[in-house]
């Protein structure tokens, strides 16, 4: 079996990513509980991205890789999309859209669109278990946004 198709490897990596990605935003909650979030939210994000950058720079240096043009373009575009996503969500909230509408649509909607792109543009195969998992997962995220 090729390592490229190893479901065990996929699960392990996704679980690490799942936990690390889930821990990432929790600092803002701690900051909020300390009463510092309103005053220092933008600065918090600066240091948050700085931490991420330091780790990423060390990982790149240890790998010995030199990014090529496509990676530079894609990485930069991904950074812009991430920031635009956060900014537009914030702007939607500050322009009167309620959180119980904004979060399910941005989260559930993006899952739906990305899954559709995977299936239609990249011709990915998802079986009945995967479809059921996706429906339940989107339901879970919409439920969390509404709850």
Partner 1 sequence: MNTGQVYMLLGLLSFSMLGVLHKVADVKHGRPPAINALLAVSSLVFVFAFVMFGTAGGPAVPRPVALIAIPFGISASVAILVFQAGVKHGSIATSWLAINLSAGIPTVASILIYGEPVGTKKALALALIPISMFLLWQDKKQQERRS
| Contacts (CB under 8 A) with partner 1, residues 117-136 | 117-119, 121-122, 124-134, 136
Query: What CA–CA distance (Å, rounded) separates 77 from 79?
Result: 5
- Is 99 a binding residue for partner 1 by CB under 8 A? The answer is no
Residue with token string 């799942």: 18
- Is 137 a binding residue for partner 1 by CB under 8 A? The answer is yes
Query: What CA–CA distance (Å, rounded) separates 24 from 138?
Result: 21
Tell me how far CA of residue 112 lies from CA of 7, 115, 122, 123, in angstroms: 23, 5, 15, 15
* Cα torsion angle, 146, 104, 86, 93, sign: negative
- Is 100 a binding residue for partner 1 by CB under 8 A? The answer is no
Question: What is the distance between the terminal CA atoms of the chain, rounded to a whole angstrom?
Answer: 43
Identify residues 27-86 at the interface with partner 1 (CB under 8 A): 27-31, 33-34, 36, 40, 42-57, 59-60, 62-63, 65-68, 70-72, 74-86
Beta strands in the chain (DSSP E): none
Nearest alpha carbon to residue 111 among 87, 75, 135: 135
Q: Nearest approach, Cβ of 100 to partner 1 (angstroms)?
A: 11
Q: Nearest approach, Cβ of 7 to partner 1 (angstroms)?
A: 4
């Amino acid at each position: 079996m090729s390592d490229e198709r190893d479901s065990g490897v996929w699960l392990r990596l996704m679980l690490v990513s799942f936990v690390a990605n889930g821990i990432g935003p929790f600092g803002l909650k701690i900051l909020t509980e300390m009463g510092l979030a309103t005053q220092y939210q933008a600065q918090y994000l600066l240091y948050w991205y700085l931490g991420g950058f330091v780790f990423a720079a060390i990982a790149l240096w240890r790998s010995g890789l030199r990014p090529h043009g496509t990676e530079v373009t894609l990485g930069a575009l991904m950074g812009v999309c991430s920031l635009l996503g956060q900014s537009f969500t914030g702007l939607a909230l500050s322009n009167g859209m309620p959180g119980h509408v904004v979060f399910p649509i941005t989260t559930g909607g993006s899952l739906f669109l990305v899954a559709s792109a995977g299936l239609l543009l990249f011709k990915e195969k998802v079986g009945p278990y995967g479809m059921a998992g996706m429906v339940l997962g989107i339901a879970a995220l919409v439920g969390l946004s509404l709850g």
